[in-house]
Amino acid sequence: MADTAKPHPIEKLSIIISKGSLDGVYPGLIMANGARAEGIDVDLFFTFFGLDAIHKERHEHIKMATVGNPGLHFVTMLGGLPGVSSVMTHYMNHKMEKLDIPSIPEFVEMIADTGAGLYACKASVDLFGLEKNDFIPQVNDIITVGEFYEKAAGGQIIFT
């Protein structure tokens, strides 16, 4: 292949969301939505605390991580005080709303509407004692890691 040849475009992505904080969930959702907008096939795989993003009761209450998050640039002890996480979450949500970034429940629903697949990790579902009913109806299936790799075949994997 000549050096001047255009690189082959990305056609398929599998994005893993493994964290249950606001700052842990959004990046994967933004990348998934953006990929669909480019016409890239996307499957989202929720594992460990990332499952909260598709959990019926919990997905509206995802909070900013204020402890052990040096990116916030304030004293670690302050982040652990009662209410600080809620206040920071409220502040972030307000800022995002101004930029017209959808809430997590709305965003996940929109991504499902784009035709992306939503999957829950079986090991984590078993670990937390959950079942299909605990998740929003857009979730396609609960799958094993092996099934995830089968689905991911031929594409690229992003872990968040």
Partner 1 sequence: MSTTTIAAVDVELNDEGFFVHPEQWTEEMAPELARREGIDTLSDAHWQVIRFMRSEFFAKGTGPTVRVLGKTSGVSVKELYQLFPKGPAKIAARIAGIPKPRGCI
Output the smallest distance, CB 122 to partner 1, in A.
28
77 makes contact with partner 1 (CB under 8 A): no
Residue labelled with tokens 């969301």: 17
For residues 87-146, which are near partner 1 according to CB under 8 A?
99-102, 110, 113-115
11 makes contact with partner 1 (CB under 8 A): no
Residue in 47, 19, 59 with CA at minimum distance from that of residue 119: 47
Q: How many CB atoms lie within 10 A of CB 3?
A: 4
Cα–Cα dist 46/119, whole Å: 6
Name every residue whose Cβ is closer than 8 Å to that of residue 114 and which is 6 or more positions away in sequence.
33, 36, 37, 42
In the complex with partner 1, the residue whose CB is nearer, 44 or 51, is 44
Query: Which of 33, 66, 85, 89 forms a contact with partner 1 (CB under 8 A)?
Result: 33
30 makes contact with partner 1 (CB under 8 A): yes
Residues making contact with partner 1 (CB under 8 A): 30, 33-34, 36-39, 99-102, 110, 113-115
